[in-house]
Amino acid sequence: MRRSILFAGALMLAAATIAVSVSAVKDTPIGIAKFVSHPALDDLERGVIDELTATVPGARFDLQNANADMATAAQIARKFKSDRVKAAVGIATPTAQALANAIRDLPVVFCAVTDPVAAGLVASYDGGGKNVTGTSDMTPVAAQLDLLVSLKPIKRLGHVYNAGEANSVKLASLVKEYCAGKGIELVESTVANSSEVRQAVQSIAGRIDGLYLGNDNTVFSAVNAVAEICLQKRLPLVTADPTSAESVPVLAALGFDYYQMGRATGRLVARVLAGEEPGSIPTYFPSAPAEKSLVLNLDVAARLGLSPSAELVAQATSIVRNGSVERRRK
């Protein structure tokens, strides 16, 4: 109920005209830092930019990429602090944490942070970060795993993640809970950087019936390698990233429309620039149907010898068939 109320309020505020003077942004850019480049984070960045370009007259941007390196993320944070950016936007948990740790007297807006309370960004989902607010991509883990199990019976589930990412550790705990409740054996493999992902998947491929990837930035920067191995080993791969699933041969993906999440984050930035205190703005949790997507790859299903139900096909917002993507109206 609390989130429903927050969501309704957010929609009302988003619908209002946000007046930000040109002088507020023309001299100093809005800093935007992403942890690494992959389709989901690139879509988030694009969504933030498009929303602010449309709603904030004269908006300028300083775009930075940490390339999955925490030292670089910290360096970017120090740069934004020194440059006195109008607002610092952190895309993904590690960059958001770096910004919040370094910047205490400028607005910080996080984007796609799974659990901002556990990540130490805010004291409460209702607000409480003195200069911090943002959007959460707390992904529907149970629904994603239900999707995988509906496509193929799973006795042993594989899960690869970066144990150094707070968001990934949180999701790993949810995967463990799900498997324990369903009597599924969980086979985990952890990585510290993207160069380890291929070997991590190969190390468990012979011991699992299917693989799940949550919204882990390190793993998704190497998602092409993961998909390649799964096809070779005839393993169904379900992920939390519909964006990359339209171009990478995964079996299915259920999750958020990250471009729309970027737009939602941009609306929060605009509110801050208009004078609202970041600490008074609750974390935004996407819940509208238009903010979620289900991608189903029928070409991969055929290669794996699987036949998704007609009901599931009808539910998909995007279908990959004969090498082409068919997008459906949400």
pLDDT at residue 18, as a whole number: 38
**Cα distance between residue 316 and residue 176, in whole Å:** 27
**Cα distance between residue 5 and residue 64, in whole Å:** 34
Inter-residue contact 301 to 310 (CB < 8 Å) = no
What's the angle, vertex CA 307, arms to CA 301 and CA 309, rounded to 5? 120
Other C-beta atoms closer than 10 Å to the C-beta of 219 total 29
Residue type, 77: A
Q: Is domain 141-256+292-327 given the CATH code 1.10.1200.10 in the classification?
A: no
pLDDT at residue 189, as a whole number: 97
Domain at 2-138+257-289, CATH class: alpha beta
pLDDT at residue 129, as a whole number: 72
pLDDT at residue 26, as a whole number: 54
pLDDT at residue 15, as a whole number: 38
Other C-beta atoms closer than 10 Å to the C-beta of 258 total 29
Strand 156-162 vs strand 210-213: parallel, antiparallel, or unpaired? parallel
Q: What is the pLDDT of residues 216-246, one digit of tens each?
A: 889 999 999 999 999 999 999 999 999 899 9
- CA 75 to each of CA 64, 107, 116: distance values in angstroms, whole numbers, following the listed order: 10, 18, 21
pLDDT at residue 193, as a whole number: 92
Q: What is the pLDDT of residues 252-263, one digit of tens each?
A: 999 999 999 999
pLDDT at residue 329, as a whole number: 63
Q: In the chain, list all ranges with CATH 3.40.50.2300.
A: 2-138+257-289, 141-256+292-327
Inter-residue contact 214 to 139 (CB < 8 Å) = yes
Strand 318-321 vs strand 324-327: parallel, antiparallel, or unpaired? antiparallel
pLDDT at residue 243, as a whole number: 87
Ranges of the chain whose pLDDT falls below 50? 1-25
